[in-house]
Structure 1
Amino acid sequence: MTVLTRKSAPRWHTHELRLGPREVGKRYRHPHPGGPEREWRALRLLERHAPGLAPRPLRFDPDDPDPFLVMSRVPGSPLRGTEVGPRRTAALAEAVTLLLGCVPERAVIALPERRSARTEVTARIHQWYARRPAALREPEIARVLAEGMRWLERPWPDLAEQAGLRPVLGQGDGNLANFLWDGERVRIVDFEESGRSDLAYELAEITEHVGSWVERETVFDAEAFLSLFALDRGERLRLLECRRLLALLWLLLLARDDAGRLRNPRGAVRAQAGRLAALLDHPAAEG
């Protein structure tokens, strides 16, 4: 069995992984408690309602003080760092559609809310904004950030609050590294942030995640991906608001990057400011 530590693991992993030919063991190094339980719960639900979409849960002891979860190994390579052309985009949309529609509503309602949902993200934005770093003081970036904070104080459209809120199992981490392409279909991994969510928020999670655009090697057409989902006007309104919220979060998060140990390419903060500005200028959904 190969052991991958945080230093030797593939680029986007933050945990200790033990990769065998048929099994993967995961030891959690995340600052938030409850990640192993969330992942185990989600994998069990998916094993029952969408077998083959995600790893099968094999072993987990919730009383272990150093949580270690063993799951089946699924085939495929991460979409992040690749050209996600039309075929892969369609397969990604098919996998996400299955994920968000397979678990019965009664089971989803019983789940805890996913990590980094709207209320938590809003609080984090205010916290980070209060001690914003120098990278956000560049005039053009500061202007977009100020516009974003003004937007944050406005109420979301009532229609967006009422529509598209059928509860779904949200994976909770839209990093394209968590979507594995095997040449035929996409499978999904990493459910430690999972929980109760809604369609619009989960689509925004994928399209606005920095992993969908920040590297030159990643080519992903977010609008083409979103066009594969039949959204009504209320869902489109909510999607736009969710995208704005998460784009604002990412602007503040990227600005916190350690200048001496950059995790993202230079210019990422300026590029993210441009993405946020475009979303803030985007007209409300029509029809």
Structure 2
Amino acid sequence: QSDLLAHLNVWAVKARPEVPDGPVALAMDRGLDWLARSGLDTHAAVDVPPVFGPGDGNLANYLWDGSSVRVVDFEDSGRSDRAFELAEITEHVGSWVEHPLDALSFLRHFDLTAAESVRLERCRRLLALVWLFLLYFDSHSEDTRNPVGTVERQADRLLRLLA
């Protein structure tokens, strides 16, 4: 999480001044305002138990055989918590851009503590903001990997999470 916060600070300085007024700029501004008040930079997730997590919510990193899920990519793995890992899955662009995951239905399968539920909401907002910047940079590269309008859709997703 601390790496994401550091990246966001750099990205905000780099990208935000060049984003024209509109939904993407509004989402960036509201997301950065929320982040400044969130306490994520100073509060560790002390009330949630640590787990070993894959750290990459791309659904292609999980194999489902009809009864069990297997993780197949450990490149970003390490100490984490269930709330962060669930946020990784629900907010990863691969979970909604082409074949949308019903995040609310998916999350109902997990019996989270009150502290984990609060952390899940914060982590979803954080990761939605991270994806907004990543998609913004991708949309301005010559070899963009996402469909036209993806960054605007992500701005809308972030604004809904912040509401």
Does the Cα contact within 8 Å between 1:162 and 1:234 map onto a contact in 2?
no
Matched, 1:242 2:114: no
Q: Which moved more, 1:130-139 or 1:176-185?
A: 130-139
Question: What stretches of structure 2 of length at least 5 have no aligned partner?
Answer: none
**Alpha-carbon distance in 2 for matches of 1:263, 1:138:** 24
Instruction: Find the residue that maps to 1:154 and give its secondary structure.
Output: helix
**Alpha-carbon distance in 2 for matches of 1:268, 1:179:** 23
Residue deviations 1:229-250, cap 9 Å, x none? 1112221111100110010000
1:204 counterpart residue number: 87
Q: Matched residue pairs, number?
A: 161
Does the Cα contact within 8 Å between 2:132 and 2:151 map onto a contact in 1?
yes
2:28 counterpart residue number: 145
Matched, 1:193 2:40: no
2:47 counterpart residue number: 163
Matched, 1:154 2:50: no
2:144 counterpart residue number: 262
**Alpha-carbon distance in 1 for matches of 2:151, 2:55:** 23
**Alpha-carbon distance in 1 for matches of 2:68, 2:13:** 43
Residue deviations 1:24-82, cap 9 Å, x none? xxxxxxxxxxxxxxxxxxxxxxxxxxxxxxxxxxxxxxxxxxxxxxxxxxxxxxxxxxx
Q: How does 1:1-287 map to 2 (within 5 A)?
A: 118-132=1-15, 136-156=19-39, 161-164=45-48, 166-215=49-98, 218-257=99-138, 258-281=140-163
The structure in which a higher percent of residues are helix is 2
Does the Cα contact within 8 Å between 1:168 and 1:198 map onto a contact in 2?
yes
Moved over 3 A (4+): 133-136, 155-162, 182-185
Instruction: Tell me by how many angstroms 1:195 deviates.
Output: 0.5
Instruction: Tell me by how many angstroms 1:183 deviates.
Output: 4.2
Instruction: Find the residue that maps to 1:153 and give its secondary structure.
Output: helix
Identity of aligned residues (%): 50
CA, structure 1 residues 183+230, in 2 after alignment: closer, same or farther (shift >3 Å)? closer
TM-score w.r.t. the length of structure 1 is: 0.52
Residue deviations 1:135-168, cap 9 Å, x none? 832422211110111111114389994422x110
**Alpha-carbon distance in 2 for matches of 1:125, 1:244:** 13
**Alpha-carbon distance in 1 for matches of 2:63, 2:27:** 34
